[in-house]
Amino acid sequence: MNFKTLIGLEIHVELGTKSKMFCGCKNEFGAAPNTNVCPVCLGHPGALPVMNKKALEYAIMAGLSFNCDIRNSFKMDRKKYFYPDLTKGYQITQQDMPLCENGYIEVHSQEGTKKVGLYRIHIEEDTGKSIHNGEGNTLLDYNRAGVPLIEIVSKPEMSNEEEAREFLDNLKETLKFIGISDVKMEQGSLRCDVNINVASEDGKFKTKISEIKNLNSFKSVYKAILHEEKRHLEMAKNNDIGFKETRRWDEASSSTIVMRRKEEGSDYRFSVEGDIPITVIEDKFIEEIKNNLPELPKQIRERFVKDYKIDEYDADILSRNKYLSKYFETVASITKDPQLTSNWLLSDVLRRVNEAEIEFEDIKMESSNFAKLILLVKDKKINNNTAKKVLRNMFEENFDPEKYVEEKGLIQVNDDSVLEKIVEEVLENNQESISDYKNGKDRALGFLVGQCMKALKGKGNPQKFNEMIIKRIS
């Protein structure tokens, strides 16, 4: 029997407003514990919530960016449950009238471009934060209580870990593009739960859904999906549907651990939030938000292919990051060579960004200096090998590459008379390599070019050396 994997994601995103969802307290990360609090977010009797208009605007921006329908009127609800960091004993959220519905996010699959559906994007408030110390005590910081959130709930339409990772990458970068959240998982601005099970191709057999929590990075999401997929397939082979349960990801053991079983649906005793009236949104308000949306990754990708004539793969990578796309355009406007700029960015620069485990926006190398380095290569003042060595230092410590190569004596030698003299000396001292090349051993040519470069301490023009050696041997 053949089985398919069904993956759905639930993503909570903190919105980057200046104040909280229903009060005027500061919305900031890293403040001293319990300093950004007031009677409203602490749930004092008689304190009344007032909706943050900017948070509502940000939520609509997300909905429009992910192709959702936006409600013209909605209500807020109370989701009741007990937890120490839930100050009021309930959370203000949306149950049956979410602000945004029926959207989608595109990912690549084996069949081509695939639209992963979204059930909903709704607005709610965050809870406080429990801090467990080494003495067995739990401390509570309520600064986060009341911070505005959107919850994005996908349909179970992803079939493998690669689709899930691309879904999250696209979601994260789009939210960053439109500027509504910093989406930093390490600070809790973006949190993700995975729902996963497997089903037979004929639909007659399904394992019970597992919800995976405690995922603090996209890498953890990827690994958790792989682990759970394997576990569910083993269950399916044994005709075991398992249990509907919540599991947590344990990084140390690279496995999931059962937290609790969910035999029945959770009874949150939802009720209407009586302190917040039904909110009506005019079409004009939604249209203004739509018209002011920044250029989205898909639009940038299409423009890069059309205007810069770079291939679709390069355009796809460059358009996924707000800062990378702007950096590319700035550098390309100076070098007047978009493809060469793209080649250097996507190979050498992004490799160093990944190795350093930093975000692209955190690189020290100024776009103007990077453009100068590319122009040095383009004008054949330095060769590729020298440029890569200079780039390595520029990445660590930003500087002007033109002055650097002058001071270090790295300018490429292009004088034919000098190069020809070097070629003559190398050929005279390597007769065996000449014979090897004539006998069909192409590597011998690379060796001879390398000897010429060595003689000029890496400052020669390897292409000219190559041409001169072939001409002489022929």
Per-residue pLDDT tens digits for 354-398: 999 898 999 999 999 999 999 999 988 888 888 999 999 999 999
Instruction: Tell me the per-residue pLDDT of 118-130, one tens digit each, with 9 for 90 and over.
Output: 999 999 999 999 9
Q: Which amino acid is at 190?
A: L
Length of the chain: 474
pLDDT band of residue 424 (cuts 50, 70, 90) is: confident
Residues 301 and 430 in one domain: no
105 domain residue, yes or no = yes
Q: Does the pLDDT of residue 93 top 90, yes or no?
A: yes
pLDDT band of residue 418 (cuts 50, 70, 90) is: confident
Which of 385, 407, 429 is the C-terminal boundary of a domain?
407
Give CA separation, 340 vs 263, 345, 365, 388, in Å.
58, 9, 18, 14
Range of the domain at 352: 295-407
Which of 241, 260, 285 is the C-terminal boundary of a domain?
285
Q: Does the pLDDT of residue 274 top 80, yes or no?
A: yes
Residues 174 and 38 in one domain: yes
Instruction: Tell me the per-residue pLDDT of 149-194, one tens digit each, with 9 for 90 and over.
Output: 999 999 999 999 999 999 999 999 999 999 999 999 888 899 999 9
Q: What is the mean pLDDT of residues 311-340?
A: 95
Residues 79 and 160 in one domain: yes
pLDDT band of residue 467 (cuts 50, 70, 90) is: confident
- CATH number at 457 reads 1.10.10.410
Residues 8 and 150 in one domain: yes
Range with top average pLDDT, 65-69, 435-439, 466-470? 65-69
d(CA 402, CA 67): 47
Instruction: Tell me the per-residue pLDDT of 70-79, one tens digit each, with 9 for 90 and over.
Output: 999 999 999 9
Residues 396 and 443 in one domain: no
Q: CA triplet 460, 462, 468: central angle to 5 degrees?
A: 100
Which of 253, 285, 317 is the C-terminal boundary of a domain?
285
Q: Which amino acid is at 163?
A: E
Residues 359 and 331 in one domain: yes
d(CA 370, CA 376): 10
86 domain residue, yes or no = yes
Among candidates 206, 83, 63, 60, which has minimal Cα distance to 145?
83
Q: What is the mean pLDDT of residues 68-95?
A: 94
Supply the pLDDT for residue 454: 84
Provide the Cα torsion 30, 33, 35, 38; round to 10°: 110
Q: Does the pLDDT of residue 219 top 60, yes or no?
A: yes
Supply the pLDDT for residue 266: 66
Beta strands in 22-111 (DSSP E): 69-70, 73-74, 77-80, 90-93, 100-109
228 domain residue, yes or no = yes
Supply the pLDDT for residue 38: 96
Q: What is the mean pLDDT of residues 321-342?
A: 96
d(CA 204, CA 129): 43
Q: What is the mean pLDDT of residues 465-473?
A: 81
d(CA 35, CA 26): 9
Supply the pLDDT for residue 349: 96
Strand partners, 140: 130
Residues 236 and 264 in one domain: yes
Supply the pLDDT for residue 216: 85
pLDDT band of residue 472 (cuts 50, 70, 90) is: confident
d(CA 349, CA 345): 5
Strand partners, 245: 210, 261
328 Cβ contact partners less than 8 Å away, ≥ 6 residues apart: 304, 318, 338, 341, 342, 345
Residues 31 and 137 in one domain: yes
Q: Does the pLDDT of residue 60 top 80, yes or no?
A: yes
**Average pLDDT of the chain, as a whole number:** 91
> What's the total number of domains in the chain?
3
User: For residue 460, what is the DSSP state?
Assistant: B
Share of the chain above pLDDT 70, in %: 99
For residue 388, with 0-12 CB atoms within 10 Å meaning exposed, 13-18 middle and 19 or more buried, which class applies? middle
Residues 391 and 319 in one domain: yes
For residue 315, with 0-12 CB atoms within 10 Å meaning exposed, 13-18 middle and 19 or more buried, which class applies? buried
290 domain residue, yes or no = no
Residues 256 and 331 in one domain: no
pLDDT band of residue 250 (cuts 50, 70, 90) is: very high
Give CA separation, 56 vs 67, 145, 249, in Å.
17, 18, 32
Residues 395 and 448 in one domain: no
Residues 97 and 199 in one domain: yes
